[in-house]
């Protein structure tokens, strides 16, 4: 592992992790988004595509690469297959982070606790918001329906459990300015 500190940023879907990452980027920090990385893998990694396709008889490829829409559809049909594919993808992501293929200070990992990799990071920042805010944001910005949101939230470890095992808490219930203020305070306290 490199000498650079590795700080994880996590939180439930719709909590505001992307806003935290965007602000850190704007401040000049090196950041990594697992979601962006996986999306890129699906579009560029033919070996990963072959490995995932070999797990199902349903075609999930488009031009030799993973079709995210087809993949999402089979995830809801077979939860065991979803878990098997996620384990493969998570391993690729963590290998990239901890074999120094990715050099950053902040790593946005949405399913950090679900993959039980929190101890691999020097510190864990948890972004939280109210359930009402989550639903409002996911409906407005991701055009998700209430049932889909419930299903996604229920598949994750509860926010109370995540709070209990996190090092730093960023509460995202009001303005972006207030969220940025909390980040600035955190950075100052840590001397980053």
* CATH code for the domain in which residue 164 is found: 3.40.50.300
pLDDT, mean of residues 1-19 = 85
**Do 52 and 26 form a contact (C-beta atoms < 8 A)?**
no
Question: Is residue 1's pLDDT more than 50?
Answer: no
Instruction: Return d(Cα 113, Cα 127) in angstroms, integer.
Output: 13
Q: What is the pTM of this model?
A: 0.88
Q: Is residue 115 part of a domain?
A: yes
Residue 75 has pLDDT above 90, yes or no: no
Q: How many structural domains comprise the chain?
A: 1
User: Which is nearest to 168 in space by CA: 132, 111, 128, 129?
Assistant: 128
Res 161 pLDDT > 70: yes
Identify the weakest region by mean pLDDT among 24-33, 109-118, 131-140, 168-177: 131-140
Segments forming the whole domain that contains residue 64:
7-187
Confirm whether 192 is domain-assigned: no
- Alpha carbons 69 and 129: distance in angstroms, whole number: 28
DSSP 3-state of 61: strand
Residue 48 domain-assigned? yes
Distance from C-alpha of 169 to C-alpha of 124, rounded to nearest angstrom: 9
- Whether 92 is covered by a domain: the verdict is yes
Between the alpha carbon of residue 65 and those of residues 28, 44, 59, 104, the distances in Å are: 33, 7, 11, 27
Residue 166 lies in a domain: yes
Residue 107 lies in a domain: yes
- Whether residue 1 lies inside any domain: the answer is no
Report yes or no on 64 lying in a domain.
Answer: yes
């Amino acid at each position: 592992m490199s000498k650079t500190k590795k700080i994880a940023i996590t939180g439930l879907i719709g909590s505001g992790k992307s806003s935290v990452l965007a602000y850190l980027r704007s401040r000049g920090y090196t950041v990594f988004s697992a979601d962006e990385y996986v999306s890129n893998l699906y579009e560029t990694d033919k070996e990963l595509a072959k490995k995932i396709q070999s797990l199902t008889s349903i075609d999930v490829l488009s031009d030799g690469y993973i079709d995210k829409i087809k993949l999402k559809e089979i995830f809801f049909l077979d939860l065991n297959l979803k878990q098997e594919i996620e384990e493969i993808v998570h391993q690729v992501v963590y290998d990239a982070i901890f074999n120094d293929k990715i050099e950053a200070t902040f790593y946005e990992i949405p399913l950090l606790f679900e993959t039980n990799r929190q101890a691999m990071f020097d510190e864990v920042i948890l972004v939280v918001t109210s359930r009402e805010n989550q639903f409002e944001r996911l409906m407005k910005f991701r055009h998700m329906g209430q049932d889909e949101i419930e299903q996604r939230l229920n598949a994750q470890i509860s926010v109370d459990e995540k709070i209990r095992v996190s090092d730093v808490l960023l509460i995202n219930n009001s303005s972006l300015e207030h969220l940025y203020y909390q980040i600035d305070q955190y950075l100052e306290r840590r001397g980053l």
